[in-house]
Structure 1
Amino acid sequence: MNGNGNPTEPVETPEGPPEGAATELEALRREADEQRDLHLRAVAELDNFRKRSAREIDLARKFGAERLALAILPVRDSLEAGLAATEKAGQAALLEGQQATLRLLDEALRANGVQEIDPRGQAFDPNRHEALSMVAADAPPNTVVEVVQKGYELNDRLLRAAKVLVARGEGP
């Protein structure tokens, strides 16, 4: 008898888990693993998306002024040529005004990441220089001896190649 006054009957206990439970448990574990894997992939993909977006935003900030800079460079070239002509003519007040304007323009370009390429005396680099002609000169072969038009970079990216004259090598 048990504590309630009822006779005790033997209870049969199964020898193992119910039929099919092990298979079902294994299937549930596989599904849980798949879901965990999908979750981890989604988290990684989101993280990669955030990083990629941040890089793209950074590039847009760095190079967003590229079109403007390209439009301003011919103006700068013209102003510089006018300065050279005015200097020869000896008109001091006009020269002073043009110099001040050129300084302001150069400061604005520099503040926005635009740097001048002046390769005079350097080895010719076809990635940054455009050779207009090869000339006889007292310089090592393939050395830039004259800059016809300055080149410019925007945050280390080439905007416009420098147009140059290059020393010719010795020979017939």
Structure 2
Amino acid sequence: MQNTDPQAPNGAPEGNAADEALIADLEALKARVAELEAGNTELRDTVLREKAELENQRRRLHRDLEQARRFANEKLLNELLPVYDGLESGLAVEGGDVTSMREGLSLTLKSLLKVGENHGLAQVDPLGEPLDPERHHAVSMVDAPGATPGTVVSVLQKGYVLNERLLRPALVAVARD
């Protein structure tokens, strides 16, 4: 009697080859999984390093911006120090005559205006010019014989422009129509 069972030992050589092929495929798949896991670990490490680098750059940028904000006026203030010194020297003088005090104040004002000009500040002194509501604020109208109506005849307070943008309008008196 012959054994017709497909799982019998007589069919073993054929089954053995199939098993070996499955084992080889399994080993190849395991190797591929290990390779992909290694690649995944490498990519994860790269992403973490890049993320850390971005965070460090963000912190550096934040620190640099904070420093820039804190010291943005350093140049301006450094240029103002001689003006402060001039004012303090003028105030320290006891019993000086009015002419020398006036000269000292005039020099100090010129020095202060120069510092302002270096940083984009310009005076608006519209005496004799037509009223410009964009740059002048008329506080009164006065009779001014010989002056064209609507012309600035008196400047009560000079205006200032910072880099072509009005900082403060000039307060003026205008000739009446």
- TM-score, normalised by the number of residues in structure 2: 0.43
Larger radius of gyration: 2
Choose between structure 1 and 2 for higher RCO, CA contacts under 8 A separated by at least 6 residues: 1
Structure holding more helix per residue: 2
